[in-house]
Structure 1
Amino acid sequence: MDSGDTTWVLVSAALVMLMTPGLAFFYGGMVRSRGVLNMLMMSLGSIGVVGVLWVLYGYSMAFGSDLGGVGLLGAPLEFFGLGQLLGADQLSDTVPTMAFVAFQAMFAILTVALISGAIADRARFGPWLLFGGLWATLVYFPVAHWVFAFDETDAAGTVTAPGGWIANRLAAIDFAGGTAVHINAGAAALALVIVLGKRTGWPRETGKPHNMPLVVLGAALLWFGWFGFNAGSALAAGSTAAVVFVNTLVATSAAMLGWILTERLRDGHATTLGAASGIIAGLVAITPACSSVTPLGAIAIGAIAGIVCALAVSLKYRFGYDDSLDVVGVHLVGGLVGTLLVGVFGSAAAPAGVDGLFYGGGLDQLWRQAAGAVAVLAYSFVLSLAIAWAIRATLGFRLSPEEEAEGVDETEHAESGYHFGDGRGSVTDAPARTASLGRELEGSNT
């Protein structure tokens, strides 16, 4: 066991944990003020639900012994409760298995939370938690097995324990979750908005972000945590982590510039929301490719993602799906861009050691990337559609028009994100209290 590697993985796990509250701030600032608490709660609720399920059976489904040797699912109860993994002799490379368990738990939590932005302002909280638990069980845990569970081999290179089919049989490259996290969550988001329908008044009354500083704070926390998300996936404090760290930085920078340049040319101005959105688009796109490209390749991927995602967010108006906070336009599209461009800009000089189309590798890696992306997209979309439809048909998923008009914070949580005045009355009492104070001051002057 290497203490440096272990420390790096644990610190990275904490960084990824910070991303979920960061996402809550990012989403919370983008909605209207009467929905900010609900967005925070949808992310916090994901931590609670997925955190428990991960310990019970989620880790086993993702990283347990492959059932049937076909790469589809780990044994669900193999590590039930994780008691078998408490011993110091349980290692993953140079890192204790429990450190790896903690690190991967944060990925599962964040992926569920990402979906929530698509259905802002119109979903009931209880059914959302149920959806999150079912989706993690039926979609995320199996897909994580496909993408992140690698074959175990002996000294002679013989496979002793097979892993997931995308990582091993297909040999698609997804270093930190472009398919398992972003395409997966983006496809689920698209299914959810189809089932729940449009917000009342959309697109005429879309509402502007109520708190841009909160959005920028969220984007900053996500960027900070993403260094753990990507570089931590090296599972060692070595050269691969360093290369990934630099690629994550430079791709995100290029994506932000690409997004605001697109805005400037299209709309005549560059916006703060565009800069924050460009940051997320770049982070999403470089996630699968961060170990496969040189820093110049990372710049190319980031710039392309920033431009493409800036254009893709407007597709919801063309096709009529109400993706409230552009989860489809940023995470699904950005994940597809990054995953496919591994097959274009991949370089054997990078840690992954695979040449893409531009480096003489032909189409071999590109078709593998495309097959993995399409498989995850289709599986997630179909299962998500079924789960959301079942919840809507049995429990109800969407707020009533009256509840939506009143605001999801009040109807679902009996709270308001902001209270003005002295806190002893409602906001509607403020004019009366101001008039009373004026009379008192006038009397004292007299």
Structure 2
Amino acid sequence: MAHPVVVVGAGPIGLAAAAELAERDIDVVVLERGAAPAAAVSAWGHVRLFSSWSELVAPAGRRLLAARGWECPAGDRYPTGAEWVSEYLEPLAAALGPRVRTGAEVVGAARSGRDRLVDDGRDREPLTVHVRLADGREERLTARGLVDASGTWATPNPVGGDGLPALGEAAAADRIDYRVPDVGADAGRYAGRHVAVVGSGHSALTALVGLASLADDAPGTTVTWVLRRGVIGDTFGGGTADQLPARGALGQRARRAVEAGRVRVVTGFRTSAVQAQPDGRLALVADDGRDLGDVDRVVALTGLRPDLSWLSELRLELDPTLQAPVRLAPMIDPNVHSCGSVRPHGVAELAHPEPGVYLAGMKSYGRAPTFLAMTGYEQVRSIAAAVAGDRASAERVELVLPESGVCGGSGGYDGDAAGGDGGCCGPSRSAPEFVELTRLAGPR
């Protein structure tokens, strides 16, 4: 009996990979660290996506669910993370049945009987995947292949401006949030307080808009936006000229909050220390000596990074800057590309010197901040074809991206809904919009 392919992470891309493999009658096991499928997406369930249903359902997932009588949600509707989970990801995990195991954290992977130094017989041995269960027990699975779709959700970047935690950051962890805040459910955490938002991406803009709205209703709430860059520049996006309307609208809402004085902006501030003050509040100290004091809470939205520690015994070929596969890195470098200019890709760009090992989904993008759901679905389609020995299909591109692109950035809060009709199996009748996939792949 052939060993299964192990997929790490039961987020959107991991479940799509399992559906592709199952459709080809390949034995597959999905290992999810969380207590339920798509645990990471559930964690930001209050955020509305910038992508409509027509871009959020994987082709193989749609076929598997359609055979069970599932109907696509309205294609032009923009779901929240919670809706994406309840209306699609949970049903898909249920359709995959016992192939999906939750409460199973992958803590290591290697070539069976060979550490990374050993060449002799390496290509003849299967992989071994080390798993720690929720109750503390350990297991070893033998696998013919490994698809790491664990994402980057579990490893947010720190407040520190040099990529490492600022001095005192760990000690202040109880007052630092590394996720987009739910200012509805957690209003008491922020109302009447001074909140510093660190970061310049769409997650930070989403937080600013939500906190500025809270400040309108909760006197004494103040918001400071801490930017590492020297000027705001194009941080707000293209406004009405933006090809992605939801992205432009979010940027304009943030701009209005700043121009109205509801958000104070501090630029060129690279945090080197987080200091506790005598009154229990915090002070952020920049590397140039500037001091931002009297801060009650810090919202750090400075990006995410891949956890590569459990892959240390496998021979990976990663770009030294992005920590993405070397053949993919030039295509996704944020200094060169927007997500709309990244062409579809598959097994040729995702393969490593270790046979049968692939990084997929947001994990494959390393530290690059933007990722497209449809791109991830094409990745795992190609990988599944390669595992099945169908090289022609693996090397063929079966995805046509919309010209304007669909990529990173979180949307608005629940209540900022966009609606429409049409099925997710058909074309969207509105312009494609941003979806943040830095938070889509579930934790291991």
Where is the helix percentage greater, Structure 1 or Structure 2? 1
**Higher gyration radius (CA):** 1
TM-score, normalization: structure 2?
0.29
Q: Which has the higher contact order (CA 8 A, sep 6+)?
A: 2
Higher strand share: 2
For normalisation by structure 1, the TM-score amounts to 0.29
